[in-house]
């Protein structure tokens, strides 16, 4: 399964990158995130339990986060839950229209015979929807005229 979401944001690229990298603040401006709990923390690598909600359905997963300031990427590797083994990459590219922020999710399902159903339920219903909402809310936060 591979799914991708992208959006154009009108804010400095480094500011967008730092907002994406700073998971601790996500629940402040991403209303669908219930909490982020750090299990391990460092400037470039974290292990976190992330919890969100999709249409009233609570979900959570454990993920390793890598903050790569040289490549300007935020990467995740899911360690537990239905998405165990999934790799996620956030990229930030300058365009004439603004900064294109893209999130790509890649997951090879553990039971290949269930992949079509899992792709529909996990990939489209949960992942694609939540990633799109994350980008829209982050854009609104970063482009707000009176941000704190």
pLDDT digits 0-9 by tens, 71-101: 999 999 999 888 889 999 999 999 999 999 9
Residue 54 in contact with residue 132, Cβ under 8 Å?
no
Residue 33 in contact with residue 26, Cβ under 8 Å?
yes
pLDDT digits 0-9 by tens, 111-121: 677 667 667 66
Residue 98 in contact with residue 9, Cβ under 8 Å?
yes
Q: SS3 of 122, please?
A: helix
Residue 38 in contact with residue 19, Cβ under 8 Å?
no
Q: What is the pLDDT of residue 110?
A: 72
Q: What is the pLDDT of residue 135?
A: 98
Average pLDDT score over the chain: 91
Q: What is the pLDDT of residue 63?
A: 97
């Amino acid at each position: 399964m591979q799914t991708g979401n992208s959006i154009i944001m009108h804010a400095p690229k480094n500011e967008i990158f730092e907002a994406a990298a700073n998971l601790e603040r996500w629940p402040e401006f991403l209303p669908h995130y219930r909490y982020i709990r750090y299990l391990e923390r460092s400037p470039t690598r974290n292990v976190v339990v992330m919890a969100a909600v999709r249409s009233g359905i609570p979900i959570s997963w454990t993920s390793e986060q890598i903050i790569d300031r040289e490549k300007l990427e935020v990467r995740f590797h899911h360690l537990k839950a239905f998405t165990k083994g999934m790799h996620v990459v956030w990229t930030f590219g300058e365009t004439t229209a603004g900064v294109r922020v893209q999130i790509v999710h890649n997951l090879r399902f553990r039971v290949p015979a269930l992949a079509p159903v899992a792709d529909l339920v996990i990939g489209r219903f949960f992942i694609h929807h939540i990633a799109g909402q994350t980008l829209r809310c982050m854009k609104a936060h970063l482009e707000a005229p009176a941000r704190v």
